[in-house]
Structure 1
């Protein structure tokens, strides 16, 4: 290895959202407990030239530990690395010599690490650094300090709208759809217009204009009929299903997760909706974290993304960068006659027209309902017990949480299996279940019934009853249960109404995100739970709300102009907002990778 008088690593761009868990005690006083999060002095270099990333807590590998990567920013090449963990330190050992003066980016994706209690790294960390010799360190520090000051001056368009927004009414979205992702929300108007709000760090709101929006932003020209269940990881990517049965993707595209082809052929960030080639006649789609499934009109299933645990459902444990048809039971033929799909963190679930349920992928918490913890790359039918037990039948709806599943049967009862450490199965315990168990009634009395819709969040669940009431159970640290507290529940509790003095009784649709929820009532759209990225859409950045709030509509609608270069790359977006216009310019390197995006007001 090359010898330096003094080896320094200088961080010159650090895109980090510190992960924290907000705990509320019984007397309502907020307390902060830091989870996995980098220290201020985040990276140092060891004598053997390995990189040491300092973290707050003792850590262990998460489900996406294999996705941590190091990239030479100058050559846009991924560097082969070995990864290890030593208590509260992540050790990255490059298998080649890092070059003096080169820029490098270390990407630590969500859920790649967790602490000893199972609390997961919820944010994505892009650590851009440079190794320099001691004699040039002062000059480099000065240059990059100026660069950071310039970046901090990028304005938020949300701050420019001073007029009071009006309340969104159901009339805007009659017969439309609602959507809750990991840290964003959305709805689709009857006319096909798509509105999104929440996190936009990687362009997942489809414009790359601001890092977040705390009220709905219209995505122009999408003509959408349905949005994905979660991010491609919720991890900063989005899909839109159009009325013609095609699918467009936008947002975060490291490794080629968006299904647009091999990563080498794509930029890391897709800043405007881009059609997925060869995918047509799609009826519904579902995405969460790093893999996605689509059901076609002929009832076949297609998937792409990370397949390390077999969650895509094809015969190769590798990244699938374009849609491929899902195999049948035991890998024989193809999966057929499917009417709905959903995906969890590392597993998938599908519902057939006959009411039987198929599962495949990761099984670390029994989410495949086969009595074991062994992963399976191909679908298998869900059984009610051991090998001699009957199959789960009579199912009319399915929903996947991170590592658990919910099903709604024709008789209005709800069943679940998989991870249950937060009570997300609603059976009154925290016992992990490897076969389906029935959700109990409120306060553990009787059984939950008369349910017409279900939705699984990260570690909590929602159910809509025929009388228009909403019930929730599981984790509640961010108020995602909507019952006016932040105390977790092992059995269903009723969701409060606006103001918290009564209960919801006129809800039509529900959807659960990572730790926030959205519902359509007879008169408005409402949200509750986590709001750290503005995902509640009420023009506020309070950290959470444990009772529903009303989603707001901007009083001024935005018009967009898109400018492309000769290589068909988006080079600028001009936004006309009332009497004010803004221009967002995009700069690419020689390989077509996005380097920067700057917003400024124009005359």
Structure 2
């Protein structure tokens, strides 16, 4: 049996990263008690970090399992990515698009596997269309944060540099182009006013960065005025980072500890626990009808400790471990997960870890149990059916059973990374 690893989990979800002016040292300035294991747009695949390993279940038809096969039947039991376990590699962050996965190890190296049609896995064309074993994307760069869009990938280094790779038809690469396939690209620091970046974020088809002076930048598809600019058309494609200047009164970029978005909106969390959003009004939890855009950042919720936003909505954990959701309620399984205003949800047990997908979430409690809510396609919530699930969720016994077969019958999953 593999010994339990002790892992320091560093993520933009829980930490504000500040780079000292005279060094490249990253300082952790705030931390949540809640672990967000994976931040993904995966639609049919379940994934988590457990004991420093990557575990995958559900749809694995595009090399998502990472064990040397392109196709693993979705009805097969959950399995860990043996490449990392066999090579003694501990994973501390996961991010993913629809069908690709990237991982950050404890040494600051970035790996990728899965669908690679836009080079979103490998950052080049040498790995083929579906790398079925993790390939090394960034090595010896001291990466501290990763994120992903639908078919794009992002990384932030300890020294404050931002790398992009993957699909860029909406300007997501920040390389001045609108090309589908893009190799690994370092965004010139001059586009961030010649300052190091200290916080990274992603949306469905765009990216975000905040430099050490507290200046906020966005690039990619500025749909529905998501960057707080009154645009004449629904879509404006920002192929270079532009500065987002209309922050709320009294709020500086230095106050922001998390920034991200989805399809048509931007949301950020401040160190004081306040959440603000702009863009498509029906997505940001303020009860607005579809078709109305919000240009000035609007207050959504107070006393929030942890925030995660994807596609059409957000999930937040407050300072008392209350779980809140908001977002679109029409289409797929959105109404199972979200509400048009910030709504507190009932869940089972005491939260210890959450994994997020495009239209679903998976949460773990202190009893070692795991539950799924939302879109169930790909057998994410059952090895037999694809049914969508309402709150408080469906227990995923088959995931726990698979982990105990590897770590031993007394192992309690979900208690950390």
Let me know the Cα RMSD of the aligned residues. 3.3
What does residue range 67-466 of structure 1 map to in structure 2 within 5 Å? 178-179=37-38, 180-183=40-43, 184-190=45-51, 192-207=52-67, 208-213=70-75, 216-222=78-84, 223-231=89-97, 234=98, 236-262=99-125, 265-276=126-137, 280-319=141-180, 321-328=182-189, 331=191, 336-353=195-212, 355-372=214-231, 374-384=236-246, 394-420=255-281, 423-430=282-289, 431-439=292-300, 448-466=301-319
Residues 346/252 of structure 1: CA separation in 2 closer, same or farther (3 Å cut):
same
Residues 290/479 of structure 1: CA separation in 2 closer, same or farther (3 Å cut):
closer
Q: 1:514 aligned to 358, 367, 376, which one? A: 358
What does residue range 524-563 of structure 1 map to in structure 2 within 5 Å? 524-536=369-381, 538-547=382-391, 548-552=393-397, 553=399, 555=401
Whose strand fraction is larger, Structure 1's or Structure 2's?
A: 1
Post-superposition Cα deviations, 1:142-173, rounded to whole Å, max 9, x if no partner, equal xxxxxxxxxxxxxxxxxxxxxxxxxxxx9999
Inter-partner Cα distance in structure 2 for 1:287 and 1:368: 18
For the Cα contact (< 8 Å) 1:384–1:390, is it kept in 2?
no
Inter-partner Cα distance in structure 2 for 1:390 and 1:413: 10
Pairwise CA distance, 1:328: 4.4
Pairwise CA distance, 1:528: 0.7
For the Cα contact (< 8 Å) 1:214–1:541, is it kept in 2?
no
Please report the TM-score for the alignment, with normalisation by the length of structure 1.
Answer: 0.54
Inter-partner Cα distance in structure 1 for 2:100 and 2:383: 23
Post-superposition Cα deviations, 1:100-136, rounded to whole Å, max 9, x if no partner, equal xxxxxxxxxxxxxxxxxxxxxxxxxxxxxxxxxxxxx
Pairwise CA distance, 1:202: 0.7
Post-superposition Cα deviations, 1:465-504, rounded to whole Å, max 9, x if no partner, equal 0111101112245555657xxxx62211121224xxxxx7
Inter-partner Cα distance in structure 1 for 2:123 and 2:188: 21
Residues 337/260 of structure 1: CA separation in 2 closer, same or farther (3 Å cut):
closer
Residues 509/339 of structure 1: CA separation in 2 closer, same or farther (3 Å cut):
farther
For the Cα contact (< 8 Å) 1:252–1:269, is it kept in 2?
yes
Residues 323/295 of structure 1: CA separation in 2 closer, same or farther (3 Å cut):
same
Inter-partner Cα distance in structure 2 for 1:392 and 1:332: 13
Residues 344/424 of structure 1: CA separation in 2 closer, same or farther (3 Å cut):
same
For the Cα contact (< 8 Å) 1:281–1:296, is it kept in 2?
yes
More relative contact order in 1 or in 2 (CA 8 Å, sep 6+)? 2
| Runs of 4+ deviating beyond 4 Å | 170-177, 353-356, 388-393, 477-483, 556-560
- The total of aligned residue pairs comes to 361
Please report the TM-score for the alignment, with normalisation by the length of structure 2.
Answer: 0.76
Does residue 493 of structure 1 match 2:359?
no
Residues 556/173 of structure 1: CA separation in 2 closer, same or farther (3 Å cut):
farther
For the Cα contact (< 8 Å) 1:313–1:379, is it kept in 2?
yes
For the Cα contact (< 8 Å) 1:290–1:305, is it kept in 2?
yes
Q: List runs of 5+ in structure 1 lacking aligned partners.
A: 1-169, 440-447, 499-503, 561-603
Inter-partner Cα distance in structure 2 for 1:213 and 1:228: 23
